[in-house]
Amino acid sequence: MSLQKLFLIFILGLFSLIGILSFFNKSKNPEVQKIDEPGSAIVVELFDEVRPVEKEKDPAAITLSNAHLEEAEVKEAVKEVILPQADRVHELFRKTEPKLPIVETITYKSHVDWLKGRPAWLSDYASHYKTSRHFIARSLHGKPDYFKQDLAIGDRFNVFKRDKDISFYLVIDLSRSKMWFYYYDKGDDERVLLKQYSVGLGRPDGSTSSGLLTPSGAFELGEKIAIYKPKQKGLFNGEKTEMIRVFGTRWIPFEKEIDGDPYKAKGFGLHGAPWIENEKGELVEDKSCIGKYESDGCVRLASEDIEELFSIIITKPSYVLLVKDFFDAKLPGKEK
């Protein structure tokens, strides 16, 4: 056999070997596809499910991690929304413990050593203890019935303690339409939150510092208070008007701004929600204004709320602080 034939056989055998090896290599990697163009998709069909190997996580660690995340989220939210809350007004009126330390329970008798020459009536007790007749009536009957003021010997009711120098503070958050009601005991330099209320405020007004028709600032409440009933008329904007339709059942005016312009308070005050006629032609309270910005600048409260406040604060120095945010309010004393 010539050398050329041997070389040809060798070449053929070498290519055959390469072909066999290529075949076996392809069978081991059956799904590799050539990419002909940049950006073309690679289609891979998996005969068996393939998953990346990951270290197994401890379920307890997962729970703890989630708990930490939730706690962080809650703390962040709490910073924004948690505000003081209380509901202790009933402790002013109740004749059994617990009751607040600024009140005391007394027993009615017609002859007292601080009034000579005639029997003492409920109005006399109210004047002597600087406690409103409405306050005494509610305590006497155990419910918010402010006009039933008849007394019998031996009746028990609450009054403010004469040796306590107290005043009241109302903090109104203009951004939240909420009000917080405090008493301040000057002797102990302590303040106590009694309750919070929803209020209606003045319409938006970009020309004012508060951004509303309701002013911002600190005001002393005045003595020219009023009680309104259906069919009772008065002058409003120069016209004779049924006052309950405008001011609800109570009116407490702003007297003057503390350390500021005394005229800034003129015309503003706290009052009840206005009353309107319903479909039957009956006069009823319109509570839909509470929580909204619809008034001409006054602060509106539901009837039961303004009547409650009225009964408590009208015989003591009382102040209203109108702020854009509750935490901007500067209150006296230590919180108790």
Q: Higher pLDDT residue, 284 or 64?
A: 284
Q: Average pLDDT, stretch 85-93?
A: 97
Least confident of 55-59, 161-165, 166-170, 258-262: 55-59
> Is pLDDT above 50 for 115?
yes
Write out pLDDT tens, residues 251-269: 999 999 997 777 788 999 9
* Percent above pLDDT 70 for the chain: 76
Write out pLDDT tens, residues 175-219: 999 999 999 999 999 999 999 999 999 999 999 999 999 999 999
| DSSP string across 307-333 | HHHHHHHTTS-EEEEEESSGGG----S
**Is 185 in a helix, a strand, or coil?**
strand
Kindly state the greatest CA–CA separation across the chain: 159
Q: Higher pLDDT residue, 116 or 27?
A: 116
Cα(224)–Cα(18) distance, integer angstroms: 112
Q: Average pLDDT, stretch 76-87?
A: 74
Q: What pLDDT is recorded for position 19?
A: 60
Cα(325)–Cα(317) distance, integer angstroms: 24
Q: What pLDDT is recorded for position 320?
A: 98
Q: Average pLDDT, stretch 35-54?
A: 36
Write out pLDDT tens, residues 127-158: 999 999 999 999 999 999 999 999 999 999 99
Q: Average pLDDT, stretch 102-109?
A: 98
Q: What pLDDT is recorded for position 261?
A: 76
